[in-house]
Structure formats: structure tokens, C-alpha cells
Amino acid sequence: MTNEIRVRYAPSPTGHLHIGNARTALFNYLYARHLGGKFIIRIEDTDEKRNVAGGEQSQMEYLKWLGIEWDESVDVGGDYGPYRQMERLDLYQQYIDELLDKNLAYKCYVTEEELEAEREAQRARGEVPKYSGAHRDLTEEQIKQFEAEGRQPSIRIRVPEGVTYKFNDLVRGEITFESNDFGDWVIAKKNGTPTYNFAVAVDDYLMKITDVLRGEEHISNTPKQMMVYDALGWEAPRFGHMALILNEQRKKLSKRDEHILQFIGQYEKLGYLPEALFNFITLLGWSPVGEEEIFTDEQLIEIFDPSRLSSSPAVFDPQKLKWINNQYVKASSLDRIVDLSLPHLVEAGRLAEDMSEDQRAWARELISLYQEQLNYAAEIVELTELFFKEEIDYDEEAMAVLKEEQVPEVLETYSAKLDELEAFEPDAIKKAVKAVQKETGHKGKKLFMPIRVATTGQTHGPELPNAIHLLGKETVQKRLKNAVEQLQA
């Protein structure tokens, strides 16, 4: 095995980049970068029936969006290609032939119907179903007979008897399997395509993969891959199996969990920041030293310690993701947040696509009011709703404020002070509030809250003078007048 650390992420192009797959890629990337090794992406596309158009492109696109870079793959090449399994069929066949020649594998002509009947009989006897080895030692005559019937053989590896497969998992410590628990399993299907466990073992060896980090659902695949390594006289890589990701109900995260967004592309469309997702996903099953939870990509590469990978399931907490993303939004430049938010306001019909410079400047100022509280860009539509309403429907909390006895005096006086302003700017608007205080004697919540509620319909919100400025004098005066009329009705 090479001294250089080499790890891989090996997606199947059967769908878009999922949270679980993104975590696998991310941990492999951090592992390689932390240890000065190489990160390889290999496309495992042998299950052609399940492959989807654009699946490979989507995987690569969203890995790049997350900030993950690789050293070898279909797009950048490398010394150990091809990097798509369907382009490596000749390589697999070479090792299938070697195992057949050494009598470490054999042709099996059992049909699917015969296999199912065998499994049913085993279940009826209370046994765990496994291949019985019915065609392990066929005679030449039997083989000729099956071929004369038109049967196509699969290729099965001979599983040795009485062997204990043991490996020291990077996450879980020592794990053992007994070979007697396995029947001879298929390494090449009837159509000649290699099966997953065979192709993976061959690829990992030929690509000089030193460490295999993957989800715990692959633990049961490991002994089969070790059988291939042993049969071909190869040294196995080190294995590490990451814990499951659970939802908030502590059930395995499933693509059917509709209350949790499953795909990285969905987060991009909502206006999450890639570095926030990078940070959040890293904390799903790995923990840094100390209490800090916000890190740059570079910091995570520096501090990533594989010994801190957890063997306990990680819980996907959407609220924590929002909190982490909000930290990044607050730290970002306003220009970046404007660029993320504007498309959502346009899509909602709040702003025109072809805005004038003045309209764009207004929109920029509007978004700046909410940057501190924005969890992700799409929230800007709901947060800014008050700026696009013709009329305000006051809720119970707002009406309670407006029904206080001093409110008509405060609103009418404030309306008069706004009429006197030469420039409808935040500083002047703020001074008008102070002038109302001086004239009426009302101050604090008795003064500010009625003005906020009457102009915005909300009891909480952005800096009031800035909000009033953006609403514009005509809208504000209309809302003040309507509020007074409702109180007098």
C-alpha cells in the first residue's frame, strides 16, 4: 500500500446529491486534505437501470458548490482512470478470469426461480437465506447441458470455510465476520457486468485507495470485499464506517422525510450559503475540541481529527442549520446577501426583473434592514411583506397597542410632523418622533410602539426610521390616516 493517503467518494449517478452522500464526500475530503493526501471521485454507474440523466453532473456540480475539490476524476483525469466503472469492464473481466482460472470462482447456472425456491425452503426451516452452493462443483456434462438449454451463467466467488474476517474500523474499533455466514456470492451478473462488491474492491486496489470512509450501511459489504482482496492476494485498505444520520424523531433520515430537505440543490435554491452547509454537515457525526461551532473550510481542514468521528448516530437539526447559516449571513457582505435575496423577491412578483438604478438601490436598502435576522435568502419574501401591502390587517397584539388612549394624539401629531419634513430621510424621520415626544409628553413604548404598529402592522421589526423611509412618505401618511380612522370608527 502506498504511503500517500488516498481516499475516494464513489457516487452512483442515480439521483442528485443527498445530505448523507454529501457528508461522505466531505469527510473523505477533510481526511485527505488534513493528512496531505489525495481525494478521488469515482462514478459507480454499473446499475444502468437506476442511473438518471444528469445524475453525474448534478453530483459534481453541488460538490463544487459546497466548496469540495478533488484531485482525480472524470473531469480532471488522473493516473488511475478511467473513473467511470462502465469504462473499466475490461479490467474487471481480467480479474474475473484470474479467479476462474485459479478455481477461486465458478460459473453458476441457477435460475432466479430456482434461487427463490431455495430461499423459501430455507426460510421455512427457520434459516437465514444464503446460496447453497448447488452449482459449486458442476461436471463438464452438466455445464454443457445447462448451456444447451440456453442458460447464461453468473460468476460466483468461492467463499472459504471457517475463516474469520477481522478489521479495525477507524470509527468503531474491531469488527469481525465469519465466512460460514455467507454463501458463495455473485461477482459478475449473467450479462457480464460486475457486481458492486467485486467492482469496488478491484477499483480500490487499482486506484491505490488507502482508506475507505463510508456510511455504516456498508459494514456488511466489507467482508465480501475482503474476500476479493484475499482471493487476489491484495492488501485491504483501512475501513471506517460513519454513524447514521437521524431525523428529529431519532429515526433514520429518509428521502421520504418531507419536513427535512434532503438534497443540497434545495438548500442552494433557498439561498443557503455553501460554507454554512459545509460547516453544518461536518458536525453531523464529528465534533471539534471545545465549544466553538463556526469554522471556515480552511479551519476545518486544519482541525479535522478522524479519531473524533462519532460511532453514535447524528441528529439532523434544521433549526441548528438555520442558526449556523444566519451566522454566515450576518458575517457576509451586503452585496452578497443582496445578490442571493433579489431573485426571490423577483420570483415572488415583488420586484421587476429589469429594475432601474433607483429601484435597485431601494431594494438593496430594504434587504440590508433584514440581513441580521435572515436565516436564508428566501425568507426575505415573508420578512419584507409589509413593504408591498396596500392595506394592513392588524392582528390582536397590534390592535391592543392601537387601542391605548394616547394613540390618536401620537399618530396625528406624528403625521403633522412628517408633513413638515423637507427631506424624508431616516435622520429627519427620527427627529420627527422626538418632536412628537416634546409636543405631547408621551415617550418610550407609549410613543414608539403606536407609530411602529400603525406604519408597519408589526410590534417588532427593523430600525423604525429606516423602515418608514423605505415605505415612503405617501404610504406612511396613508397608513397613519387609516389607523386613526379605524380607531375613531
Alpha helical stretches, state H, 403-458 = 407-419, 426-440, 445-456
Residue range 274-287: mean pLDDT, rounded: 97
What are residue 179's phi and psi, to 5 degrees? -60, -30
pLDDT number for residue 49: 81
pLDDT category at 50 given cuts 50, 70, 90 is confident
Cα dihedral value 199, 200, 202, 205, nearest 10: 170
**78 pLDDT above the threshold of 80:** yes
CA separation, residue 224 to residues 36, 102, 144, 291, 450 (Å):
30, 18, 30, 40, 72
What are residue 314's phi and psi, to 5 degrees? -100, 135
Percent of the chain with pLDDT over 90: 90
Instruction: Decide if 455 contacts 397 (C-beta within 8 A).
Output: no
Q: How far, rounded to the nearest angstrom, does the alpha carbon of residue 199 sit from its chain's CA centroid? A: 27
pLDDT number for residue 252: 85
Catalytic (active-site) positions:
255
pLDDT number for residue 249: 84
* Closest among 17, 123, 120 to 66, alpha carbons compared: 17
CA max distance for the chain: 111
Instruction: Decide if 156 contacts 108 (C-beta within 8 A).
Output: yes
Residue range 235-261: mean pLDDT, rounded: 86
Q: Which residues pair with 165 in a beta bridge?
A: 177
Q: Which residues pair with 177 in a beta bridge?
A: 165
pLDDT number for residue 487: 84
More confident residue, 247 or 29: 29
Average pLDDT of the chain, as a whole number = 94
pLDDT category at 456 given cuts 50, 70, 90 is very high
Helix axes 274-282, 318-331, angle to 10 degrees: 140
* b/e per residue 451-484 (b: at least 16 CB within 10 A): bbbbbbbbeebbebbbbbbbbeeeebbebbeebb
What are residue 395's phi and psi, to 5 degrees? -80, 180
**1 pLDDT above the threshold of 60:** no
**254 pLDDT above the threshold of 80:** no
What's the pLDDT tens digit per position in 337-396? Answer: 999 999 999 999 999 999 999 999 999 999 999 999 999 999 999 999 999 998 888 899
pLDDT number for residue 2: 61
What's the pLDDT tens digit per position in 402-435? Answer: 999 999 999 999 999 999 999 999 999 999 999 9
pLDDT number for residue 55: 86
> How many Å apart are CA 294 and CA 279, to the nearest integer?
7
Collapsed DSSP state (helix, strand, coil) of residue 308: helix
DSSP state of 371: T
Q: Which three cell numbers stand for residue 400?
A: 391592543
Residue range 463-474: mean pLDDT, rounded: 95
Question: Is the Cα torsion angle 421, 448, 430, 462 positive or negative in sign?
Answer: negative
What's the pLDDT tens digit per position in 336-352? Answer: 999 999 999 999 999 99
